[in-house]
Amino acid sequence: MWKSLWRSRDRFSLQEFKYQINELQKIKVVDKLNRESIFNILQSIVEIVTYGDRHDPSIFECFMEYQILAEFLRLLKIGRNSRIEANVLHYLSIMIQNMENYCFSNDYINNIILHPYEFDVGDLAPYYVSFLRTVSGKVNRDTICLLVKVQDDIVVSFPLYTAALKFARHEEKMIQIAVRALTFNIYNVSDDMVYAFITTPPVSEYFSDLVLDLRQQCFSLDILVNAIKDNFTHMMWKELLLETDKFIDDLYYCKDIIRVGDFRLSTLMIHDLLGLLIIPVLLPSLQSYHTNDLQISALSSLYIFSHLIQIFDVKEVVDSVAVALLYPYTVLSIGKDGGSISRENNINLFLEHLNEFGECLTSISTTESGMTERVNGECLSRHSAECTSSSSHASNLEQDDRQSKSGGILSLIFSENNTLLLASLIFLIILSESRELDDSLASMMGLSQRKIVMEQMILNSVLKFLVSQTACSALTQWTIGWVLRKLLVFQDNKLTVQDLDLFNMSYEKSCERLLNEVKGCWFDYIPVTLKNEWERCMAVLDESSKSKDPSLALTTALNRHIPDGDISSSLAWERMVETVKVFVLHHLIKAFVYEGRFPENPLLNLRNSLMNTPEETQGMDVRSVNFGSEPSLGSGIPCKISFSKGKESEVYLTPMAKGISGKLVLVEKIPHQTRRVVIAAAPLVGLNPTVDKKHLTWLHLRVRDHQPEIEGSKTGRYQCIISDDHVVDRRWTLGFSSKEACDAAQLLILKEISKQRSRVESLLAPLLRCSAESLLSNGGGDSNLACVV
């Protein structure tokens, strides 16, 4: 009986809930002494409400009856100087997040949002924005009316939205992300009155501010692009990629706003993009005769435009850029001051031209099947000229200017600047292959499978660029190869005799450089490098324009030629990999030109034993011979070596090669035993055994210490910087009992290296023989490649 009187309350019961509410209502002041107890009460209330929302309807009824949200608001008001706002907002967020029933009535949420918080003190902003985002997650067509104030069927106040926009430019990235998530929660409700509110000034200024931020980022990117163009460094490249990532994130956000589906919202966003960014900042630099105070460099404009078109698969934006490039007179009325009045006039005039152009396209007769007939560029130009002839801006221009096709960008392509050439073609390919580009506009761009009007001069310029391979990195050449492959597709793989001669000249150079590497200090890695780079190069050449990284055009400024001759093994490794990359590119392009397809990887199915792994079928496993092992190597050549000052070791030298693997092994005899243990081993390739000119019994060896990464980078971004950190090769000096013994050791080492080289040459022979025969049979001129095999 007495035990039942002292029985504890169920912590999730209605009785416990009322008890906690009563304790909360007793609080009249908040200070350091009772803060913890207040937090415990709030935690209990949140837990009970969350439980009751799912299991006990009476708890939710009690929640509404006692107006718990009002108690939270009261705590905020009486505790302004006690710094409890963050905790109150935190518990509110948890409670709202876990409630399925509506709790937005009586305007308490709006009052909590509008409470005068002191964001300069502590870390209140993240909790506040998190609370706003949580509330937005519960907004739908039924609840949004509880969060807005309406007069005469017009929304005049929306605290949740306007409060969140104040943090849109907050320095913390997570807060920015939360605000953007909140905006989409509201946009996706699809309420007409709310759309009218957010697209009406001053609230609509949020969208123009977004584009103005993009414009400022363009100016920052322009500074970096021009700095890299003049002085390519790793730090500047990394900074450019970081700034580009920020820019791309903002572009995706703008694109998602357009994709929400509301006409007013998408029109406003497109209007701001054209009027504040594309027309006044990006387009003028692509027209050589047009400048204004907002202009950035042509290279930066191409770089930014490429990203923009890749991201904005929005027909209005893509077609606007195409029309502006094809008919530059549509943007000649841009004001230099960039003021709002001038901007409105300019954008309206441009959109008027664009609409007239669209009417021209739709006015073209259709066939009986309903499909639009193919029209050539001149016909479409004539229609456009007729449509715009009434414009006072267009009427002052010469006829040839009105009918020029991409005149401004063609001047960039045919300039002597290879970076501009590559950037222009990457941009044009991305634009012309956009799925949202109008078919007729794509035909007029001259880079379309739908209508091939390819300029031979462009193809010739690209081939000339490719021939100058000593002046650019392999990464740049792969990018040139991607452009060349696209142009060949547009051109039906047709090359003139002069173009074939240019390509064959470049191809022969790549073969000669590969043959030189067979004589180098990394020839044992050439087969595996060829195998890997073949697959990577094919992936690059097959890459869609949608996913092509426009920053690769900037790598033309990376001009670091690694010389031949006596260099460190780490530098020699980089040179070998670059050489293999260039050869693979040329081989694949050659096959595509002559056969219309890429060949299969000739080294793909070779046994692992041939790909720099041990020969396991016969004899010693070369790669298993390492420090501490006890192999049966025969007698070896006795000699002495000192690995530390004043201490010599008597060892036996044994060079050994199996397949394309080879090692020089130094073994030491164990005292009082017949066994021998390996005390040192080094790769055979690169040893370069040299007899000392003064001491004829000394043999100098250089040991590769560089450990290459065979598989290469797995990241999405391209590695375009050659490392400046190079490992210094080790040097061994072996002492022999006589000159004859020293010479014998040198010859034995060279013999084993020659066996390795012969094996590598046998692997490469079919590839090089095929290359030589193809070039000779197709008029490539004399070639020394036939003597390779």
> Is residue 61 a part of any domain in this protein?
no
Lowest-confidence range among 2-16, 204-218, 567-581?
Answer: 2-16
Cα distances (angstroms) measured from residue 440 to each of 209, 375, 591: 34, 7, 32
| pLDDT for position 399 | 39
- Lowest mean pLDDT of 242-246, 314-318, 406-410, name the range: 406-410
Compute CA 631 distance to the chain's CA centroid, rounded to the nearest angstrom: 49
Query: What do you get for the CA distance between the two ends of the chain, in Å?
Result: 105
Mean pLDDT of all residues in 298-314: 92
Has residue 743 got a pLDDT over 90? yes
Q: Are residues 417 and 452 in the same domain?
A: no
Instruction: Give the pLDDT confidence of 153-195 residue by residue, as tens digits.
Output: 999 999 999 999 999 999 999 999 999 999 999 999 999 999 9
Return all residues near 706 (Cβ < 8 A) that are at least 6 apart.
568, 569, 570, 573, 726, 727, 729
pLDDT exceeding 70 applies to what percent of the chain? 75
More confident residue, 557 or 677: 677
The more confidently predicted of residues 557 and 482 is 482
Q: Of 400, 416, 447, which residue constitutes the final position of a domain?
A: 447
* Residue 211 forms part of a structural domain: yes
CATH assignment at residue 707: 2.30.29.30
Region 120-131: what's the mean pLDDT? 91
How far is residue 67's CA from residue 81's CA, in Å, rounded to a whole number?
24
How does DSSP classify residue 372? B
Helix (H) or strand (E) holding 286: none
Q: What percent of the chain has a predicted confidence (pLDDT) above 90? A: 44
Mean pLDDT of 2-24: 76
Residue 375 pLDDT: 34
For range 743-763, the mean pLDDT:
93
Per-residue model confidence (pLDDT) at position 726: 59
Q: What's the pLDDT score for residue 783?
A: 36
Asked if residue 683 and residue 756 are part of one domain, the reply reads yes
DSSP label at residue 694: S
pLDDT at site 554: 86
pLDDT digits (tens, 9 = 90+) for 700-718: 999 987 777 665 444 444 4
Q: Where do we find the tokens 């950035």?
A: 296
* Rounded CA separation 580/533 (Å): 7
> Which amino acid, residue 524?
D
Residue 685 pLDDT level (bands cut at 50, 70, 90): very high
pLDDT level of residue 358 (50, 70, 90 thresholds): low
Residues 6+ apart with CB under 8 A from 256: 184
For residue 2, being part of any structural domain is answered with no
| pLDDT tens for each residue of 368-401 | 334 333 333 333 344 334 433 433 333 343 334 4
Check residue 350 and give its pLDDT.
58
**Which candidate, 158, 262, 146, places its Cα nearest to that of 202?**
158
pLDDT at 447 over 60: no
The model's confidence at residue 294, banded by pLDDT at 50, 70 and 90, is low
- Whether residue 222 is found in the same domain as residue 342: yes
| Contact indicator for 211, 276 with CB cutoff of 8 Å | yes
Instruction: State residue 352's pLDDT score.
Output: 62
Going by C-alpha positions, the residue among 178, 160, 154, 157 that lies closest to residue 168 is 178
Does the pLDDT of residue 490 top 70, yes or no? yes
Of the two residues 609 and 203, the one the predictor is more confident about is: 203
Same domain for 632 and 697, yes or no, is yes
Residue 511, in any domain of the structure: yes
pLDDT at 417: 85
Q: What is the 3-state secondary structure (H, E, C) of 492-529?
A: CCCCCHHHHHHHHHHHHHHHHHHHHHHCCCCHHHHHHH
Query: Which of 18-27, 427-436, 592-601, 767-776 shows the lowest per-residue confidence on average (mean pLDDT)?
Result: 767-776
Crossing angle, helix 68-78 and helix 85-98, to 10 degrees? 160
Query: Do residues 661 and 737 both lie within one domain?
Result: yes
Task: Clarify whether residues 254 and 288 are in a common domain.
Answer: yes
H or E stretch at 400: helix 399-402
Q: Domain ends where: 447, 462, 495?
A: 447
Query: What does the alpha-carbon distance between residue 333 and residue 303 come to, in Å, rounded to a whole number?
Result: 24
Which of the four pLDDT bands, split at 50, 70 and 90, describes residue 253? very high
Q: Longest Cα pair distance anywhere in the chain, in angstroms? A: 113
Confidence of residue 669 (pLDDT cuts 50, 70, 90): confident
In this prediction, residue 624 carries a pLDDT of 64
**Most confident by average pLDDT, 171-185, 219-233, 478-492:** 171-185
Higher pLDDT, 291 or 552: 552
Show which of 393, 418, 447 is a domain's final residue. 447
Q: What is the mean pLDDT of the chain?
A: 80
One domain for residues 520 and 559: yes
pLDDT beyond 50 at 636: yes
- Each residue's pLDDT tens digit, 266-278: 999 999 998 899 9
Residues 143-156 have a mean pLDDT of 93
Lowest-confidence region among 60-64, 319-323, 485-489: 319-323
HSE value, Cβ hemisphere, 13 Å, CA-based, for 64: 13
Instruction: Pick the closest to residue 327 from 360, 365, 294 (CA basis).
Output: 360
Q: Is residue 568 part of a domain?
A: yes
Q: Answer whether residue 496 is part of any domain.
A: yes
Query: What residue numbers bound the domain in which 639 lies?
Result: 623-711+725-769
Q: Are residues 472 and 438 in the same domain?
A: no
Are 443 and 465 within one domain? no
Number of folded domains in the chain? Answer: 3
The residue ranking higher by pLDDT, 225 or 284, is: 225
Identify whether residues 637 and 667 lie together within a single domain: yes
Of 121-125, 573-577, 625-629, least confident by mean pLDDT is 625-629
Angle at 678 between CA 673 and CA 679, to 5 degrees: 105
Query: 108-117, 129-138, 455-464, 723-732: which range is least confident on average?
Result: 723-732
| Domain presence at residue 253 | yes
Is the model's pLDDT at 127 over the cut of 50?
Answer: yes
Q: Are 468 and 388 contained in the same domain?
A: no
